[in-house]
Amino acid sequence: MSIEKNNKVTIVTDDNLGECYSEFYEYYWEKKCNKGAVNDTFNEYVNSNCFLELLDKMKNKTSDWNVGYGMLFPEDFDDPDNPDDEENIGENNICFFSGPDYEDYEDIIGYEEFYKYLVPACEFYVERRHPEHKKKVKRKLKEIRKAYGLKKHNFLQNISKLF
């Protein structure tokens, strides 16, 4: 089974989904992105047909959970204002999970680390899946950075390839 390619762009199909996942993991490994649940979730996202909509969910801090992977924001826990709640992930954090029981693999990361993982996922999406979405992805990344209160200078080095 080979990946259908048009230059560097891969068209994701049911027949090549495993190879597409491997392609993303290799890319992320090269970028030194090594958080298991974050990698698994972004891999599912960039190889889906709804990545742009998921970027909007991220901007709006809206959780997304699926069978075996997803991201959760503090507002989805019982009492985000109670630091003693063992389910509390903390303010300005995102919980990524993967695995069949939702808690098999879990990574809780802050907004800055989240953005550092998001940028290479967006680069991969634009370079290898949908180059025609480059302007949309660039705009959405800026919106996310603003929504999370992240300073631009912290990430100029990370996004130079995309912009």
- In angstroms, the CA 157 to CA 93 distance is 23
Q: Over the stretch 42-66, which tens digit does the pLDDT of each residue have? A: 999 999 999 999 999 999 999 998 9
**Which residues lie across from 9 on neighbouring strands?**
6
Both tokens of residue 151?
A: 């300073």
Question: Is residue 8 very low, low, confident or very high in pLDDT (cuts 50, 70, 90)?
Answer: confident
Region 142-157: what's the mean pLDDT? 79
Question: Is residue 21 very low, low, confident or very high in pLDDT (cuts 50, 70, 90)?
Answer: very high
Residue 68 C-alpha from the chain's centroid:
15
Cβ atoms of 95 and 72 closer than 8 Å: yes
CA atoms within 13 A on the CB side of 58: 29
Question: Is residue 120 very low, low, confident or very high in pLDDT (cuts 50, 70, 90)?
Answer: very high
- In angstroms, the CA 123 to CA 137 distance is 9
Question: Is residue 20 very low, low, confident or very high in pLDDT (cuts 50, 70, 90)?
Answer: very high
- In angstroms, the CA 139 to CA 130 distance is 15
Region 121-148: what's the mean pLDDT? 97
pTM of the model: 0.84
pLDDT of 151 reads 85
Question: Is residue 3 very low, low, confident or very high in pLDDT (cuts 50, 70, 90)?
Answer: very low
pLDDT of 4 reads 46
pLDDT of 2 reads 37
Both tokens of residue 78?
A: 């019982």
Question: Among candidates 33, 25, 37, which has minimal Cα distance to 99?
Answer: 37
- Helices (DSSP H) in the chain: which residue ranges? 17-30, 36-46, 51-59, 111-124, 134-147, 156-159
pLDDT of 76 reads 79
pLDDT of 78 reads 60
- In angstroms, the CA 133 to CA 142 distance is 14
R_g of the chain, CA atoms, integer Å: 16
More confident: 152 or 23:
23
What letter represents residue 123's amino acid?
Answer: E
- In angstroms, the CA 51 to CA 125 distance is 8
Q: Over the stretch 79-115, which tens digit does the pLDDT of each residue have? A: 555 555 556 788 899 999 998 765 578 999 999 999 9
- In angstroms, the CA 127 to CA 93 distance is 28
